Amino acid sequence: MPTRTSLGLTAAAALLFALPGPAHAAAPAPVYAPSTAIADPGVLRENGDFYVYSTGSGVRVSRGDEAVGPWSNTGPALDLDPMPGWMANGDVWAPDVWRTGAGFVMYFSAVAKDFSGQRCIGVAVNTTADPSGKFQPAAQPLVCPGGRHGGGDRVPGRPIADAGVIDPSPFIDSDGRRFLLYKTQQTPSTLRMVRLSDSGVQWFGNDSGELLRRDGIIENPVLVQRGNQFVLFASRYGYDNCSYATVWLRSTDRWHFGGATEHSLLTTAGTGICGPGGSDVTTSLDGGWRIFLHGWVCGTGTRACTPSQIDNGADRRRSLYAAILNWGADNATPVVGAFL
């Protein structure tokens, strides 16, 4: 998705944000909660419809007429027959898609061979008119630490030498230049960005630069330009429990967020959603913005898990939530409006 933005709270929601309580106390219903998980949603709006690409074997694709649905599964999107030689298997994490001159371009992470279970980032292209059509992966990864398997970006300066890369996220600036953000695995975690060619399928120019580092987990970067301000969204803490949350930072320098203040945007206490993370944003049909995210629901229904259910190993899956995304009075402060 070429552009993204942020959200704001109403007065009532802001009050709720500050109050403690069980994760399910005021949780909105998911807009899509199939029996199979919707995790790490990457959202594309094309021809009036929303397409969500999510973690899973071969990349699960879901289409919605509106953010609230109805939603339907359109099947796996990544053509893995034959599978690129660098991939250890067909399990794919955190895919994201945008349109460039090359067609619909997908970025995804997968476990790489001979890399101790760590991941690299691949790229695939769909030249059809259908965003849910088959994406053909390139033979080599786009980003692979140390240049493994021919990956272009060497990912210099990683805090852990044998860490892989995950959570690719495309960004286009106001001048039309294309970039790719991603996270290095293991902790300390870093968020990085590399310049791409105009087609979005090749690494361009220098190696990647580090945007931000945390001793703990920070992942799932999403970047939005608002005038001369750059807003960076990310997920914090462990994805597998209710503490997972969405944060944002702002800087006038797209390459440097280390000194920026980290603000909470979506938490379990504030939304009722168990682990509101993996967020992505896009424009909507009404000219506004939408934020999509995943959260844990327990059992066969759509009720948000509680922390105790997570701790006790309850049967759970991640489902898709959506909300209105606004900007503050300065047009550069993300504010979450009503959930859909």
Closest CA to 151 of 73, 74, 208: 208
40 annotated active-site: yes
How many helices (H) and strands (E) the chain has is answered by: 3, 21
CATH superfamily of 11-339: Glycosyl hydrolase domain; family 43 (2.115.10.20)
Closest CA to 293 of 102, 18, 52: 52
Assign 24 a pLDDT band (cuts: 50, 70, 90): very low
Question: Among 16-25, 60-69, 118-127, 274-283, which is the least confidently predicted range?
Answer: 16-25
Distance CA 149, CA 75 (A): 29
pTM of the model: 0.91
Q: What is the pLDDT of residue 11?
A: 35
Does the pLDDT value for residue 320 go beyond 70? yes
Does the pLDDT value for residue 286 go beyond 70? yes
Q: What is the pLDDT of residue 285?
A: 83
Does the pLDDT value for residue 13 go beyond 80? no
Instruction: Let me know: does 234 contact 216? Beta carbons within 8 Å.
Output: no
Arithmetic mean of pLDDT, 10-31:
53
Assign 17 a pLDDT band (cuts: 50, 70, 90): very low
3-class state of residue 190 by DSSP: strand
Q: What is the pLDDT of residue 151?
A: 85
Closest CA to 158 of 110, 207, 203: 207
Q: What is the pLDDT of residue 284?
A: 87
Assign 26 a pLDDT band (cuts: 50, 70, 90): confident
Domains of the chain by residue range: 11-339
219 annotated active-site: yes
Q: Is 5 left (phi over 0), alpha (psi -120 to 50) or beta?
A: beta
List 40, 96, 167, 210, catalytic entry: 40
Q: What is the pLDDT of residue 75?
A: 86
Average pLDDT of the chain is 91
Assign 152 a pLDDT band (cuts: 50, 70, 90): confident
Q: Using alpha carbons only, give the angle 190, 317, 56 rounded to the nearest 5 degrees.
A: 60
Assign 147 a pLDDT band (cuts: 50, 70, 90): confident
Question: Among 98-102, 195-199, 284-288, which is the least confidently predicted range?
Answer: 284-288
Q: What is the pLDDT of residue 205?
A: 86
Does the pLDDT value for residue 141 go beyond 70? yes
Read off the pLDDT of residues 40-76 as tens digits, 9 standing for 90 and up. Answer: 999 999 999 999 999 999 999 999 999 999 999 998 9
Read off the pLDDT of residues 116-125 as tens digits, 9 standing for 90 and up. Answer: 999 999 999 9
List 79, 219, 240, 253, catalytic entry: 219
Q: What is the pLDDT of residue 3?
A: 42
More confident residue, 333 or 146: 333
Arithmetic mean of pLDDT, 256-275:
97
Does the pLDDT value for residue 14 go beyond 80? no
Share of the chain above pLDDT 90, in %: 84
